[in-house]
Amino acid sequence: MRMAELSDRSGITTATIKYYLREGLLRPGRRISATQAEYDEDHLRRLRLVRALIQVGRMPVATAREVLVAVEDESLDHHMRLGAAVWALPQGSTDAADGQDEAARTARRRADALLEELGWTMARQDGDRSPAYRTLVAAIAGLSRTGYPCDQGDLLAYGRLAGELAVTDLDMIERYGTAYEQIEAAVALTVLYEPVLLSLRRLAEAEESNRRFGDGGCDV
Protein backbone atom coordinates (compact mmCIF):
# COMPACT_ATOMS: atom_id res chain seq x y z
CA MET A 1 0.00 0.00 0.00
CA ARG A 2 1.09 3.59 -0.52
CA MET A 3 1.44 6.24 2.19
CA ALA A 4 -2.08 7.59 1.58
CA GLU A 5 -3.69 4.17 2.10
CA LEU A 6 -1.56 3.54 5.16
CA SER A 7 -2.82 6.83 6.55
CA ASP A 8 -6.46 5.99 5.76
CA ARG A 9 -6.30 2.53 7.30
CA SER A 10 -4.41 3.60 10.42
CA GLY A 11 -6.26 6.85 11.01
CA ILE A 12 -2.91 8.66 11.33
CA THR A 13 -2.08 11.62 9.12
CA THR A 14 0.66 11.31 6.52
CA ALA A 15 2.56 14.12 8.26
CA THR A 16 2.57 12.14 11.51
CA ILE A 17 3.61 8.94 9.72
CA LYS A 18 6.53 10.80 8.15
CA TYR A 19 7.48 12.10 11.59
CA TYR A 20 7.44 8.55 13.00
CA LEU A 21 9.64 7.44 10.11
CA ARG A 22 12.15 10.22 10.81
CA GLU A 23 12.20 9.35 14.52
CA GLY A 24 12.83 5.66 13.84
CA LEU A 25 9.51 4.50 15.30
CA LEU A 26 8.49 3.00 11.97
CA ARG A 27 10.81 1.20 9.57
CA PRO A 28 11.03 2.61 6.02
CA GLY A 29 8.80 1.18 3.33
CA ARG A 30 10.03 -0.65 0.26
CA ARG A 31 11.31 1.98 -2.14
CA ILE A 32 9.60 1.78 -5.57
CA SER A 33 10.78 5.12 -6.95
CA ALA A 34 12.82 8.11 -5.91
CA THR A 35 9.83 9.64 -4.16
CA GLN A 36 7.52 6.73 -3.35
CA ALA A 37 7.54 3.65 -1.14
CA GLU A 38 5.22 0.75 -0.43
CA TYR A 39 4.09 -0.34 3.02
CA ASP A 40 2.59 -3.58 4.27
CA GLU A 41 0.50 -4.99 7.13
CA ASP A 42 3.52 -4.95 9.45
CA HIS A 43 3.71 -1.19 9.05
CA LEU A 44 0.01 -0.88 9.80
CA ARG A 45 0.31 -2.98 12.95
CA ARG A 46 3.36 -1.04 14.12
CA LEU A 47 1.55 2.26 13.56
CA ARG A 48 -1.29 1.07 15.77
CA LEU A 49 1.21 0.21 18.48
CA VAL A 50 2.98 3.58 18.19
CA ARG A 51 -0.39 5.31 18.34
CA ALA A 52 -1.25 3.41 21.52
CA LEU A 53 2.04 4.44 23.11
CA ILE A 54 2.18 8.09 22.06
CA GLN A 55 -1.34 9.29 21.34
CA VAL A 56 -3.21 7.22 23.94
CA GLY A 57 -0.53 6.50 26.52
CA ARG A 58 0.93 10.04 26.23
CA MET A 59 4.40 8.57 26.10
CA PRO A 60 7.35 10.74 24.98
CA VAL A 61 8.86 9.72 21.65
CA ALA A 62 12.19 8.80 23.28
CA THR A 63 10.43 6.47 25.73
CA ALA A 64 8.35 4.92 22.96
CA ARG A 65 11.56 4.25 21.03
CA GLU A 66 13.00 2.40 24.07
CA VAL A 67 9.86 0.25 24.29
CA LEU A 68 10.07 -0.62 20.60
CA VAL A 69 13.73 -1.61 20.98
CA ALA A 70 12.66 -4.07 23.69
CA VAL A 71 9.86 -5.39 21.47
CA GLU A 72 12.39 -6.19 18.74
CA ASP A 73 15.08 -7.78 20.94
CA GLU A 74 15.30 -11.25 19.41
CA SER A 75 18.16 -12.25 21.72
CA LEU A 76 15.62 -13.01 24.47
CA ASP A 77 13.19 -15.91 24.74
CA HIS A 78 9.49 -15.22 24.40
CA HIS A 79 8.81 -14.78 28.11
CA MET A 80 11.81 -12.51 28.67
CA ARG A 81 11.00 -10.48 25.56
CA LEU A 82 7.43 -9.94 26.74
CA GLY A 83 8.75 -8.89 30.14
CA ALA A 84 11.39 -6.56 28.73
CA ALA A 85 8.85 -4.81 26.51
CA VAL A 86 6.35 -4.28 29.33
CA TRP A 87 9.11 -3.28 31.80
CA ALA A 88 10.10 -0.52 29.40
CA LEU A 89 6.67 1.09 29.77
CA PRO A 90 6.44 4.06 32.15
CA GLN A 91 5.64 3.08 35.74
CA GLY A 92 4.29 4.95 38.72
CA SER A 93 6.63 6.76 41.08
CA THR A 94 9.27 4.53 42.66
CA ASP A 95 11.06 7.17 44.75
CA ALA A 96 9.60 5.91 48.02
CA ALA A 97 11.01 2.44 47.34
CA ASP A 98 14.52 3.83 47.90
CA GLY A 99 13.76 5.32 51.28
CA GLN A 100 15.66 4.21 54.36
CA ASP A 101 12.95 5.01 56.89
CA GLU A 102 10.85 2.42 58.71
CA ALA A 103 7.93 2.84 56.28
CA ALA A 104 10.15 1.90 53.32
CA ARG A 105 11.66 -1.09 55.11
CA THR A 106 8.25 -2.30 56.22
CA ALA A 107 6.86 -1.84 52.73
CA ARG A 108 9.57 -4.03 51.27
CA ARG A 109 8.90 -6.77 53.83
CA ARG A 110 5.17 -6.61 53.13
CA ALA A 111 5.70 -6.73 49.37
CA ASP A 112 7.98 -9.76 49.71
CA ALA A 113 5.54 -11.52 52.03
CA LEU A 114 2.67 -10.79 49.64
CA LEU A 115 4.51 -12.22 46.64
CA GLU A 116 5.46 -15.30 48.65
CA GLU A 117 1.87 -15.95 49.73
CA LEU A 118 0.65 -15.47 46.17
CA GLY A 119 3.28 -17.93 44.96
CA TRP A 120 4.70 -15.45 42.46
CA THR A 121 8.24 -16.83 42.42
CA MET A 122 9.34 -14.95 39.31
CA ALA A 123 8.28 -11.62 40.78
CA ARG A 124 10.24 -12.40 43.96
CA GLN A 125 13.33 -13.37 41.97
CA ASP A 126 13.20 -10.19 39.88
CA GLY A 127 12.93 -8.00 42.99
CA ASP A 128 14.41 -4.53 42.57
CA ARG A 129 15.15 -5.13 38.89
CA SER A 130 11.40 -5.02 38.25
CA PRO A 131 9.88 -1.55 37.89
CA ALA A 132 6.50 -2.98 38.92
CA TYR A 133 7.98 -4.38 42.15
CA ARG A 134 9.55 -1.02 43.00
CA THR A 135 6.25 0.73 42.28
CA LEU A 136 4.48 -1.74 44.58
CA VAL A 137 6.95 -1.08 47.40
CA ALA A 138 6.58 2.68 46.93
CA ALA A 139 2.79 2.41 46.99
CA ILE A 140 2.77 0.34 50.18
CA ALA A 141 5.18 2.80 51.79
CA GLY A 142 2.86 5.65 50.84
CA LEU A 143 -0.10 3.86 52.41
CA SER A 144 1.87 3.25 55.59
CA ARG A 145 3.04 6.85 55.89
CA THR A 146 -0.51 8.18 55.57
CA GLY A 147 -2.05 5.64 57.90
CA TYR A 148 -4.34 3.89 55.43
CA PRO A 149 -4.93 0.10 55.45
CA CYS A 150 -2.19 -2.01 53.85
CA ASP A 151 -1.88 -5.15 55.93
CA GLN A 152 -1.38 -8.57 54.37
CA GLY A 153 -5.09 -9.31 54.09
CA ASP A 154 -5.83 -6.06 52.27
CA LEU A 155 -2.97 -6.54 49.84
CA LEU A 156 -3.70 -10.21 49.27
CA ALA A 157 -7.21 -9.47 48.02
CA TYR A 158 -5.78 -7.16 45.36
CA GLY A 159 -3.07 -9.65 44.46
CA ARG A 160 -5.55 -12.46 43.87
CA LEU A 161 -7.68 -10.26 41.66
CA ALA A 162 -4.55 -9.24 39.74
CA GLY A 163 -3.73 -12.91 39.20
CA GLU A 164 -7.12 -13.49 37.63
CA LEU A 165 -6.65 -10.45 35.41
CA ALA A 166 -3.27 -11.76 34.27
CA VAL A 167 -4.92 -14.93 32.95
CA THR A 168 -7.38 -12.80 30.99
CA ASP A 169 -4.55 -10.62 29.66
CA LEU A 170 -2.44 -13.53 28.47
CA ASP A 171 -5.45 -15.30 26.93
CA MET A 172 -6.08 -12.15 24.91
CA ILE A 173 -2.44 -11.84 23.88
CA GLU A 174 -2.34 -15.46 22.71
CA ARG A 175 -5.04 -14.72 20.13
CA TYR A 176 -2.27 -13.17 18.04
CA GLY A 177 -0.48 -15.59 15.76
CA THR A 178 3.24 -14.89 15.90
CA ALA A 179 5.53 -14.23 18.85
CA TYR A 180 6.28 -10.75 17.50
CA GLU A 181 2.58 -9.91 17.24
CA GLN A 182 2.02 -11.18 20.79
CA ILE A 183 4.76 -8.93 22.14
CA GLU A 184 3.36 -5.92 20.31
CA ALA A 185 -0.10 -6.79 21.64
CA ALA A 186 1.21 -7.14 25.21
CA VAL A 187 2.58 -3.60 25.08
CA ALA A 188 -0.45 -2.07 23.35
CA LEU A 189 -3.00 -3.82 25.55
CA THR A 190 -1.15 -2.89 28.73
CA VAL A 191 -1.37 0.76 27.73
CA LEU A 192 -4.93 0.60 26.43
CA TYR A 193 -6.53 -1.61 29.08
CA GLU A 194 -5.12 0.03 32.21
CA PRO A 195 -7.56 2.97 31.79
CA VAL A 196 -10.36 0.42 31.29
CA LEU A 197 -9.39 -1.29 34.54
CA LEU A 198 -9.26 2.00 36.45
CA SER A 199 -12.60 3.14 35.05
CA LEU A 200 -14.35 -0.14 35.81
CA ARG A 201 -12.99 -0.13 39.35
CA ARG A 202 -14.39 3.34 40.00
CA LEU A 203 -17.74 2.49 38.42
CA ALA A 204 -17.93 -0.68 40.51
CA GLU A 205 -17.13 1.30 43.67
CA ALA A 206 -19.96 3.71 42.85
CA GLU A 207 -22.37 0.79 42.44
CA GLU A 208 -21.26 -0.84 45.68
CA SER A 209 -21.45 2.48 47.54
CA ASN A 210 -25.00 2.99 46.31
CA ARG A 211 -25.91 -0.55 47.37
CA ARG A 212 -24.50 -0.05 50.87
CA PHE A 213 -25.18 3.59 51.61
CA GLY A 214 -27.60 4.93 49.00
CA ASP A 215 -31.36 4.84 48.73
CA GLY A 216 -31.28 2.90 45.48
CA GLY A 217 -31.93 5.99 43.39
CA CYS A 218 -29.67 8.09 41.20
CA ASP A 219 -28.58 11.62 41.95
CA VAL A 220 -28.76 14.01 39.02
Q: What is the pLDDT of residues 61-92, one digit of tens each?
A: 998 898 888 888 888 888 888 888 888 887 77
Domain ranges of the chain: 3-76, 86-212
Rounded to two decimals, the pTM is 0.78
Task: Identify whether the C-beta of residue 135 lies closer than 8 Å to the C-beta of residue 173.
Answer: no
Confidence at residue 220, expressed as pLDDT on a 0 to 100 scale: 43
Task: Identify whether the C-beta of residue 102 lies closer than 8 Å to the C-beta of residue 145.
Answer: no
DSSP bridge partners of 4 = none
Confidence at residue 4, expressed as pLDDT on a 0 to 100 scale: 93
What is the C-alpha separation between 170 and 186, in angstroms, rounded? 8
Query: Looking at domain 3-76, which CATH architecture does it have?
Result: Orthogonal Bundle (1.10)
Confidence at residue 218, expressed as pLDDT on a 0 to 100 scale: 55
What is the C-alpha separation between 156 and 108, in angstroms, rounded? 15
Q: What is the mean pLDDT of residues 6-26?
A: 93
